Structure formats: C-alpha cells, structure tokens
C-alpha cells in the first residue's frame, strides 16, 4: 500500500475531528460536574436511558409508550426548565482556563499560601470577625473580580485580616485569591437557593455555597456570630471545621492530581511545621 500525502492528510483530519469532539464532551461533562442541578439532570437522563433499553429488551409496552413521549418532548422541557443552568454551563466553558494559576505553584508556594490563610482564619475566628475567602481554580472568576475593588497584592495573613477588619469598606464582601496573590476585595457572589442549608446560616455561607455551585473554586467562611469555620467546595458546605480540618482540606483540594499521595503529604507536613 502506497502512503500518499492525501492519505496522511485524511488520517490527520479524522484524528483532529475525534480530538475536538472528545474535548467538547470533556469540558461539557467537567462543567456539569461542578453544577449540582445539572449533575442531577444528567443522572436522570442516564436512568431514563437505562429504562428505555430495559423496555425495548423485555417488551414493556407501557414504559416504552411513556418514554417515547418523554424523549419526544423532553429536550424542549429541559431547555425551558433548566435555562439558567444551561446558560451557567456555557458561561463556565467561556471562563475555563487550560491551566489554573494554583497548578503552577511550587510545593513551597502552595504551603505558604495555606499557612497564611490558616493563620488569618485563626485570628478572625478568635476575634469573631466575619470573612469570605474564595480561591480560584480552573474556572476563571474574572467576572467577579472586574466588579470588585482591585488589589493584586502578595498574599499575607496580615493583609487578609486588614481587609475583613470591622469598618473596612470591603469588610462585607469576599476576597478572591488567584494563585498566591489577592486579586480583589469586596466581591459579591450569587447566593445559593439550596433548601437543605440551615436557616441559621447567613449571607456569607449562602454566597460561599452559591459560588461553589457555579464554579470549581474553594470558598472559606468565618462566621461573624460564632467564629466557626466552614468550607464550600463542589456544591457542598462543610460547617464548623477545626483549623486542622481547614488546612488538610486545602492541602487536598489544591494538590495537583499528578503528585503522589504519600510523598507529597510528607513534604507538605514538613514545610508546614517549618513555617509554624
């Protein structure tokens, strides 16, 4: 078989075509995973598909008849009912970054980042000063940064404490961290409409949960009333955590996936002890 230039170009064309389709599905599924409502919708569609296959296999007439109508009108109903969530996913696709800034931090820089945040949260909880700290990951938070007060300063516990100190104009808003720098203060985030969240929790907790439902960020909260610490990540709120819990969750969530679990944990523990 003679390999011609046309044959090579044809093969490359098919490879590029397949890669583009794979990338499209990868980013869509990745952003669906970060949206709680769309995750439930995706699970529902999988269940309907399983029922359809079972109905066709075992000749279940009634189930098959109902599913025919669902398949016929379902897409239109999904677009109407889940229009805000679909728009949110499309916006996330536009904001997605191939390489989040947290991923290019060295182990030392990442451990210093965690150390400074934990030190600030320790002071804030003891003083019962409310705070909302959001760490950007793969999904860009530039839309929220553009509407907030720009800072672009090196991260330090002293700067974080100052930003949330009472009577500071940015006290009630959130701080956004990109990599190991504070990008802005006074940021306003969407509040979660999750009915499962306790009514005793205030706007900061709902805003932390809301931004974690829309993006893949890590949102840390210090309660102004109780001084308790919380973390919202992947649409879940972890309430009343200890400082060690906060530190370990940050270590786990910020660790690049390629790093080995045991070796990296030892390195980060040693660096943290040196910084104490």
| Domains identified in the chain and CATH numbers | 5-95 (no CATH), 101-275 (3.40.1700.10)
Residue 250 predicted with pLDDT over 70: yes
- Please give the share of the chain, as a percent, with pLDDT higher than 90: 42
Across 37-51, 55-69, 151-165, 240-254, least confident range: 37-51
The string of pLDDT tens digits covering residues 198-230 is 888 889 999 999 999 888 899 999 999 999 999
Q: Which residue has the higher pLDDT, 258 or 156?
A: 156
Q: Tell me what the mean pLDDT of segment 37-44 comes to.
A: 74
Helix axes 107-127, 243-254, angle to 10 degrees: 150
Q: Tell me what the mean pLDDT of segment 100-109 comes to.
A: 74
Q: Residue 44: what pLDDT?
A: 81
Max mean pLDDT among 8-12, 52-56, 130-134, 233-237 falls in 130-134
Distance separating alpha carbons of residues 227 and 121, to the nearest angstrom: 9
Residue 100 predicted with pLDDT over 80: no
What values do phi and psi take at 219, rounded to 5? -115, 120
Q: Residue 260: what pLDDT?
A: 40
What values do phi and psi take at 252, rounded to 5? -70, -45
Structure tokens at 208: 């932390």
């Amino acid at each position: 078989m003679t390999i011609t230039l046309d044959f090579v170009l044809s093969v490359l064309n098919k490879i590029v075509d397949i890669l583009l389709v794979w990338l499209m599905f990868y980013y869509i599924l990745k952003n669906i995973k970060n949206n709680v409502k769309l995750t439930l919708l995706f699970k529902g569609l999988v269940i309907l598909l399983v029922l359809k296959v079972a109905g066709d296999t075992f000749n279940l007439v009634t189930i098959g008849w109902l599913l025919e109508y669902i398949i016929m009108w379902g897409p239109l109903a999904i677009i109407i009912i889940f229009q805000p969530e679909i728009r949110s996913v499309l916006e996330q696709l536009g904001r997605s970054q191939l390489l989040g800034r947290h991923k290019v931090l060295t182990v030392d820089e990442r451990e210093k980042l965690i150390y400074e945040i934990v030190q600030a949260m320790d002071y804030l909880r003891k003083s019962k000063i409310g705070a909302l700290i959001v760490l950007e990951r793969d999904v860009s938070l530039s839309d929220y940064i553009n509407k907030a007060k720009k800072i672009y300063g090196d991260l330090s516990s002293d700067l974080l404490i100052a930003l949330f100190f009472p009577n500071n104009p940015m006290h009630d808003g959130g701080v956004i961290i990109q990599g190991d720098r504070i990008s802005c203060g006074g940021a306003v985030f969407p509040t979660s409409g999750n009915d499962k969240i306790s009514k005793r929790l205030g706007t900061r907790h709902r805003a932390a949960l809301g931004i974690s439902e829309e993006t893949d960020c890590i949102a840390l909260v210090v309660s102004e009333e109780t001084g308790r610490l919380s973390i919202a990540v992947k649409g879940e709120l972890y309430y009343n955590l200890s400082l060690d819990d906060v530190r370990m969750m940050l270590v786990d969530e910020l660790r690049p996936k390629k790093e080995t679990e045991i070796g990296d944990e030892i390195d980060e523990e040693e660096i943290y002890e040196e910084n104490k």
